[in-house]
A = this chain, B = another copy of it.
Amino acid sequence: MARTPVAEHEERVRALLAPLRTRDAETVPLHAGLGRVTAVDIVTPIPLPPFRNSQMDGFAVRAAEVAGAPVDLPLVGEIAAAPGEPAPLAPGTAVRIMTGAPLPTGADAVVPVEDTTVSGSLVSIRAPRVSGEYVRDVGSDLAAGDVIVPAGTRLASRHLGALAASGIAEVEVEARVRVDVISTGSELVDLGDALGPGQIFDSNSTALAAAVEAAGAELVSTARVGDQAEFFRLLLDSSVDGGAELILTSGGISQGEYEVVRETLEPLGAHVDVLAMQPGGPQATAVYRGVPVVCFPGNPVSSQLSFLLFVEPVLREIAGLPPRMRAPRILDTPLSSPPGKRQFLRGRALPAGRVATLGGPSSHLVAALAAADVLLDIPEDVTELPAGATVETWEL
- Residues from chain B with a CB closer than 8 A to the CB of A163 are 203, 206, 370
| A187-B82, A191-B167, A191-B168 known; A198 vs B99 contact (CB < 8 Å) | no
Least CB distance from A183 to B in Å reads 10
- Residues from chain B with a CB closer than 8 A to the CB of A370 are 148-149, 158-159, 161-163
**CA of A15 to CA of B37, assembled, Å:** 37
Question: Which of the 9-residue segments A4-12, A62-70, A263-271, A298-306 touches chain B?
Answer: A298-306
Question: Which of the 9-residue segments A19-27, A45-53, A349-357 touches chain B?
Answer: A45-53
Question: Which of the 9-residue segments A234-242, A358-366, A378-386 touches chain B?
Answer: A358-366
Of the residues B136, B141, B195, B369, contact of A162 by C-beta under 8 Å:
B369
Q: Does A157 belong to the interface (CB within 8 Å)?
A: yes
Q: Does A2 belong to the interface (CB within 8 Å)?
A: no
Kindly report which residue of chain B lies nearest to residue A191, judged by CB atoms: B169
Q: Does A165 belong to the interface (CB within 8 Å)?
A: yes
**Mask of A367-379 contacts with B, CB within 8 angstroms, 1/0:** 1111010000000
Of the residues B81, B161, B198, contact of A369 by C-beta under 8 Å:
B161
Q: Does A201 belong to the interface (CB within 8 Å)?
A: yes
Q: Establish whether residues A255 and B30, one from each chain, have CB atoms under 8 Å apart when the complex forms.
A: no
**CA of A164 to CA of B202, assembled, Å:** 7
Least CB distance from A35 to B in Å reads 8
Q: Establish whether residues A396 and B158, one from each chain, have CB atoms under 8 Å apart when the complex forms.
A: yes
* Chain A contacts with B in 94-109, Cβ cutoff 8 A: 98-102
* Chain A contacts with B in 196-217, Cβ cutoff 8 A: 196-211, 213-214
* Chain A contacts with B in 240-286, Cβ cutoff 8 A: 254-258
Kindly report which residue of chain B lies nearest to residue A372, judged by CB atoms: B158
- Residues from chain B with a CB closer than 8 A to the CB of A50 are 195, 199-200
**CA of A148 to CA of B359, assembled, Å:** 13
Q: Does A124 belong to the interface (CB within 8 Å)?
A: no
Least CB distance from A209 to B in Å reads 6
Least CB distance from A238 to B in Å reads 19
Copies of this chain present in the complex amount to 2
Of the residues B85, B165, B193, contact of A366 by C-beta under 8 Å:
B165
Q: Establish whether residues A158 and B200, one from each chain, have CB atoms under 8 Å apart when the complex forms.
A: no
**CA of A309 to CA of B256, assembled, Å:** 58
Q: Establish whether residues A299 and B162, one from each chain, have CB atoms under 8 Å apart when the complex forms.
A: no
Q: Establish whether residues A207 and B304, one from each chain, have CB atoms under 8 Å apart when the complex forms.
A: no
Interface of A, helix, strand, loop or mixed by DSSP: loop
Q: Does A332 belong to the interface (CB within 8 Å)?
A: no
| A34-B213, A102-B197 known; A164 vs B82 contact (CB < 8 Å) | no
**CA of A161 to CA of B366, assembled, Å:** 7
Q: Does A83 belong to the interface (CB within 8 Å)?
A: yes
Least CB distance from A80 to B in Å reads 5
Q: Does A315 belong to the interface (CB within 8 Å)?
A: no
- Residues from chain B with a CB closer than 8 A to the CB of A227 are 82
Q: Does A90 belong to the interface (CB within 8 Å)?
A: no
Kindly report which residue of chain B lies nearest to residue A257, judged by CB atoms: B80
Q: Establish whether residues B254 and A201, one from each chain, have CB atoms under 8 Å apart when the complex forms.
A: no
Least CB distance from A225 to B in Å reads 13
> What 5 A-B pairs have minimum CB-CB distances, sorted nearest first?
A161-B207, A164-B203, A162-B370, A157-B210, A164-B206
**Which A residues are closer than 8 A to B by beta carbons?**
1, 30-31, 34-35, 44, 46, 48-51, 53, 55, 57, 78, 80-86, 98-102, 114, 136, 140-142, 146, 148-149, 156-169, 185-187, 191-193, 195-211, 213-214, 227, 254-258, 298-300, 304, 359, 362, 364-370, 372, 396
A–B Cβ pairs within 8 angstroms, 19 of them: A35-B214, A50-B199, A80-B186, A81-B185, A81-B187, A82-B186, A83-B199, A85-B198, A100-B185, A100-B298, A100-B364, A149-B370, A161-B366, A164-B202, A164-B203, A164-B206, A166-B201, A167-B193, A168-B191
